[in-house]
Structure formats: structure tokens, C-alpha cells
Chains A and B, each alone.
Chain A
Amino acid sequence: MELLKISKKNFLSFVDKKMSEKKSRIVGVIQKGSHFVFDDLQSSKDLRLDYDVTILPPKKYFQPQKEVMLKFAPKNVESYVAVNSYDPITIFGIHYYDLAAIYLMDRAFSDGDGDEHYIKKRENSLLIGSYPQKHFKQRFSRSVVKDQYYKVADLMLVDMGDEYVIEVVSEKGKNYLKGSQLKKNTYSLKQVEEAKTHIKDDQKLPVTVDIASEFLTRNYYHSVWKYFGDKCFSCGSCVFVCPTCYCFDVCEEIDLTLAAGQRIKVWDGCMLENFAVVADGHNFRRDRADRFKHRTFRKVKYLPDRYRYFGCVGCGRCADACTADIAGPNKVFKYILEKQ
């Protein structure tokens, strides 16, 4: 992989230049009160690459919270028109674990016939990643993410103090850099590696990823599920903030004239009480404990079984968002180990 470098000052001018070119929507991490969010950049000055974590992951750009799939006039089959919008987008500063999550999303949405709405948005995106420069008390990414983030990143920024080393991951990334004030990298690989990993995680998965699935399966009937289930509000915060949760519902909206409508996709999640309600009102995951168990198994067993990679990237958002303080998958392992 080619390594280049650029001064921070020149990097910011590069971002401003890209913004003024208006060839794509430019998104980056900005401050929101005491927290951080991905949002449209107004100026490179707002870009905060020193963030700890964002409230929502960047999945919101590829799997919008509400997305129109088609428009129609009721009771008129001829009237159905598919809708898909995918303007080019460039995202600055996605942490490596969120990129690992996008890799999983890509796999899931291209399975079988694939989901055109997601795929087209991804094809028209350019992802510029980074490595955390600040502690976040709930994060345990190092113990669950390998190097799958390189499969989706176009460029990775490594913070060297006054300069960034840029890892040029894709051809598309390389082209994007044309016209910027780049220099040859002068740092040793060891220095770069150190800069990428010097912020250590505060948490870790208490077992190794390789045995996690088998470990959990063995504890399918453990008391941990009821213990956490009893404390759970079924509020869904843990799934909405999760970068690897992609569930959605499909519904229809009719306008007030009753003459026009649209079919939409909206975020949904397995922790919500009505998620698994089917015809005739039957709910096949009626108990909180079952829902809690399903979510954990999805991260630790179902996704890895299918896509080879762990279904949780250890971002710690769920643990942070959970009022009941039970959502971090690492906590489930910790509880089981303590009760053995």
C-alpha cells in the first residue's frame, strides 16, 4: 500500500477545495454539544478528527432512516415508479471500526439479488477513514476488528502530530488526491503503526473472537438472558446506534388527497416489542429476554457464521446509549464468566 504525507494545514485547504468544487456532498465529523456527529461540512474548520465516537454511525448515509422506494397512485398498478437517489458523497474521518461495519453491511446488502437502494449509494461514495485519537470508555474494537476495514476504505488518515500520513487504499482514493500538496512519506512503518494504535481501548471482549460463538451457544439457556432482559426497556437505542444493525420496515404513506402515495423504508430493530409480530398478531419474540438474546447472538454467531467476520465491531455506542447500562455485548460475556 502506498503511503504519502501532507501537512495538516494543507489537508484542510484540500478539504475546502473539495467543498468548493461541489462535485460531491462532503460529510465529516463535527461537534454537537458535548458529543460528535457525522454531518455536512460547511467549512474544513468544523472537521473534528480528534473525536471519540459519533452518536450515530455513518450507516445513515447508505441506509437512510426514511427512504422512498417507489411512488404510486392507489389502486392503479400502472402508476408505480421506482425511486432511488444516490448523489455522490465523500465522508471524512470514519474510524476504522465503522469501516469494518460498512464492510459487513456491504456483504449483507449484496447477498442474493442485492438491495439496489443501498448498493447504488455505496458505489457513489468515497470513504476517508481514520484511527481514534481519543479514548472512549466503552470501546473494545481492538479485540474484535482485524483489518477488514481496508476492504472498504479509499484512504486512511494517520495522525502524526503536525502532519497526516495517508494510506492510499484504493485507486479511487488515489485519484481523489490529485492536485493536493502531497509529499512522500518519511516516517518508518513502525512510527506509522504506533500512531495508528497508540490510543488503547478501555474495554475488551473477555473471550477471543474465535471461540466467542461457540462459548455463547453453550450458554444458550444461561440465566444471563433473563437477568438482562428484566432490565431492558425495549427502547431500541442499542440497535439504532449500532453500525452493524441494518434492519428496516417497509410501509406506505398516502397523501391527504388520497390520490398519491409512496412506499418507504424506515429503520426498525429486533429489540423493539413489535419487531417480530406477524399476521394474526403472533409475536415470535415476545419476551424481552428472547429479544436480548437474539440481538447478542446475531452479533456473535449468526453474522460470523454467514460472513466470517464478527458481527460487532466494538464501537461501544450501544453501551453508551443504553439507559439500563446492559447493552454492550462484552458485558454479556463478562456476566457469564463471573457466574461460572
Chain B
Amino acid sequence: MSDKPKVAFFDFACCEGCQLQVANLEEDIIKLLDLVDLVEFREVMTGSTSETYDIAFIEGSITRKSDEKRLKDIRERSKLLVAYGQCAVNGGINRLKNIWHSMDDVKKCVYGDDSYMPHLDTYPTKGVDEVVKVDLYIPGCPINRDEFLRMVKELSLGKIPRLPNHPVCVECKLKENICLFDKGVICLGPLARAGCGAICPSNGSPCEACRGTVDNPNKNAMHEILDKYNYTVEEIKRTINLFGVNPEVKK
């Protein structure tokens, strides 16, 4: 028996892109395996395994009744539960469907005639913490590999890992990028939580806040600016809401 923490990875409704980020750690994955004891990387068994875990990493959002049961079972068997990837953190891109008025319309739009098949049953998307207690969040769509490694290292050292609480603009400035607003492009960088190295603006695309926002985003100020760019209230909300950020402001 080793004294390394027993670690397992599980996925729910998602594209598995975050898993891929972990799998793509290349040589670091070998070093990572010196730190942790990987007991499960892909849920092949049903929820009936009796294995217990020190850390369970949960990817994906919760979209069905049966997901809840499986998730609660994992929670019961895990000392620490980590929601990794924006789908798990707050529902992520999957949460877009919640804007629709009825789930039947959503299903019809996506699956057409097959929408009533029982395995396609779905309810409004939930983040993991809407079903069970989450101990740690690793945001991003997909997650940032370096941040993932930092979190695992800090957990191994018994530290409480923290997320940066400053906007993406900080990392964008450090890279000496030309601000997209200078080119008339709307960017959510001033609201978005840093940690990705401002990868999108550094490559010419606006930030869409895929890591959620800082703790206290100044949404009022963003509404003012989008208003200056002649955005309607609906357009403003849609821009802010892509990755499940609540676009409402305090009056």
C-alpha cells in the first residue's frame, strides 16, 4: 500500500476536453503519477463500486436525474471533491440551454425526431455544486494544465489552493498585447478571472470569460461600456452569459 493520495476522475455531460488536457500533460503526467495513485480515470463501472478516494475530480455538468444519483454516490466515497472544467464548475457552455423556455424545444432543436428517445431525456443544466458539496474548483473551458498541476501540488503539500482574483486584463497587459477595445472589439477580460495567461486576446480573439468572473466583477461598468458600443440590453446579457456568468446587475 502506498501513502500517495488515491485519485479518481469522472465525467458527466461534457466534451471531455478537460480530461484531454490532463491526458496531454505529456512528461509531467509521469511525475504526477509519482505524486498520486490514479485508481480511476474513466468511469467504466457503474456507480456500484465500493472504492473510496482521497480526491475525486469531476468533469462535466449535471443534466439528468440519474447523474445526480451517480454523483452523490461518488461524493459519499470521496474525502475531497474537485469540480474541474467550467461544465462542472457552473454548468459552463451546457448552461446555455437553460435560457430556452422549455426543455422540449431544446431537445427538438438538437435531436429532431429522436428527441423523445428515453436516453436523451434531460433537465436544465446544473453545476456540480448544485447537487453535492464541492471542495475545490478548477475553472476554464478547457482547464489550464499549469493551473491543474499547481492545484494538485498544493493539495499534496496540504495547502489550500487559491484561484487568482484579478481580471484577465492583468495577464493581457503583462504580454504587452494591444487591447482589443482599441480595435473596437468587445472583450470580457475586465470581468473574467485570470489564470489562463490571457490566451485568447494574445491570439487576437476576445475573452469570453470561460473561467467565470473575478469574485466581484463590475458588471455595471461593463453594461455602461457595451451601451456606449450601442449594444441592446439583450445583446449585452448574451455577451456576458456565454459561459454561465449571470449577466444581471445590481441596480
Interface residues of A (CB under 8 A from B): 32-35, 37, 55-56, 65, 74, 230-237, 240-241, 254, 256-258, 267, 272-274, 288, 321, 323-324
Given A235-B189, A256-B32, A323-B190, residue A273 in contact with residue B216 (CB < 8 A) = yes
Given contacts A257-B34, A273-B215, contact A230 B170 (CB under 8 A): no
A274 lies within 8 A of B165 (CB): yes
List residues of chain B with CB within 8 A of the CB of A321: 173, 179
Choice from B35, B189, B214, B218 contacting A256 with Cβ under 8 Å = B35
On chain A, the residues within 8 Å of B189 by CB distance are 235
Asked if residues B31 and A267 are in contact (CB atoms below 8 Å), the reply is no
21 contacts between A and B (CB under 8 A): A55-B173, A230-B221, A233-B167, A234-B166, A235-B166, A235-B167, A235-B189, A236-B166, A237-B173, A240-B173, A240-B174, A254-B153, A256-B32, A258-B156, A267-B174, A273-B166, A273-B214, A273-B215, A288-B218, A321-B179, A324-B221
Distance of B225 from chain A, by nearest CB (Å): 6
Q: A258: which of B35, B174, B181 is its contact (CB, 8 Å)?
A: B35
Are A235 and B174 also in contact (CB < 8 A) when A230-B220, A254-B157, A323-B181 are?
no
Contact A234 B218, beta carbon cutoff 8 Å: yes
Interface size class of chain B, counting residues whose CB lies under 8 Å from the partner chain: 35 or more
- Would you give the 0/1 interface string for B30-74, flagging 1 where the beta carbon is closer than 8 Å to chain A? 011011000000000000000000000000000000000000000
**Does A258 lie within 8 Å of B173, measured CB to CB?**
no
Q: Which of B159-183 contact A (CB under 8 A)?
A: 165-167, 169-170, 173-174, 176-179, 181-182
**Which A residue sits closest to B172, measured CB to CB?**
A237
Of A56, A74, A257, A323, chain B has the most CB atoms within 10 Å of the CB of A323
CB distance from B3 to the nearest CB of A (A): 13
In the complex, the answer to whether A236 meets B167 with C-beta atoms within 8 Å is yes
> Top 10 nearest A-B pairs by Cβ distance?
A233-B190, A235-B169, A256-B31, A240-B173, A235-B167, A235-B190, A272-B166, A55-B176, A274-B165, A236-B170
Give the chain B neighbours of A55 by CB distance below 8 A: 173, 176-178
B83 within 8 Å of A by Cβ? Answer: no
Are A323 and B191 closer than 8 Å at their CB atoms? no
Contact B176 A274 (CB under 8 A): no
Q: Interface 1/0s, chain B 114-158, versus A by CB < 8 A?
A: 000000000000000000000000000000000001000100110
Q: Is B224 in the interface zone, CB < 8 Å from A? A: yes
Is B28 part of the binding interface, using a Cβ–Cβ cutoff of 8 Å?
Answer: yes
Q: What residue in chain A is nearest B152 (Cβ atoms)?
A: A256
Main SS of the interface on chain A? loop
Q: Is the CB of A233 within 8 A of B224?
A: no
B166 / chain A contacts, CB cutoff of 8 Å: 234-236, 272-274
Say which residue of B35, B178, B181, B222 sits within 8 Å of A33 (CB atoms): B178
Q: In the complex, what residues of B have CB within 8 A of residue A33's CB?
A: 178
Contact residue among B153, B179, B182, B221 (Cβ-Cβ distance under 8 Å from A233): B221
Q: Determine the distance from Cα of A267 to Cα of B214 in the docked complex, in whole angstroms.
A: 18
Q: How many angstroms between the C-alpha atoms of A235 and B190 in the bound complex?
A: 6
Further contacts, 16 of them, CB under 8 A, given A37-B176, A236-B170: A55-B178, A74-B157, A232-B221, A233-B167, A234-B167, A235-B167, A235-B170, A236-B167, A236-B173, A254-B153, A256-B35, A256-B153, A258-B153, A272-B166, A273-B166, A273-B214
Q: A235-B170, A272-B166 in contact; A256/B149 too (CB < 8 A)?
A: yes
| CA gap between A204 and B45 in the complex, in Å | 70
Query: Which residues of B have CB within 8 Å of A233?
Result: 167, 169, 190-191, 217-218, 221-222
Distance of A241 Cα from B169 Cα, bound (Å): 11
Q: A233-B167, A273-B165 are in contact. Are A32 and B178 (CB under 8 A)?
A: yes
Residues in A with CB closer than 8 Å to B215 are 273
Given contacts A235-B189, A235-B190, contact A323 B179 (CB under 8 A): yes
Give the chain B neighbours of A65 by CB distance below 8 A: 174
* Residues in chain B near residue A37, CB distance under 8 A: 176
A257 to B170, alpha carbons, bound, how many Å? 29
Nearest CB in chain A to that of B168: its residue:
A235
**Smallest Cβ-Cβ distance to A39: which chain B residue:** B176
Give Cα distance in the complex from A324 to B222, angstroms: 8
In the complex formed, the residue of A with least CB distance to B216 is: A273
In the bound complex, residues from chain B placing their C-beta under 8 Å from that of A267 are: 174
Chain B nearest CB from A22 CB (Å) reads 25
Q: In whole angstroms, how far apart are the Cα atoms of A147 and B11 in the complex?
A: 64
Contact check: which of A254, A288, A324 meets B225 at CB < 8 Å? A324
A237 touches B178 (CB 8 A): no
Q: How far is the CA of A307 from the CA of B173 in the complex (A)?
A: 28
Known: A235-B167, A272-B170. A56 touches B176 (CB 8 A): yes
Q: How far is the CA of A56 from the CA of B172 in the complex (A)?
A: 12
| Minimum C-beta distance from B36 to chain A (A) | 11
Question: A65: nearest residue on chain B (CB-CB)?
Answer: B174
Q: Which residues of B contact A324 (CB under 8 A)?
A: 190, 221, 224-225
Most chain A CB within 10 A, of B179, B221, B224, is at B221
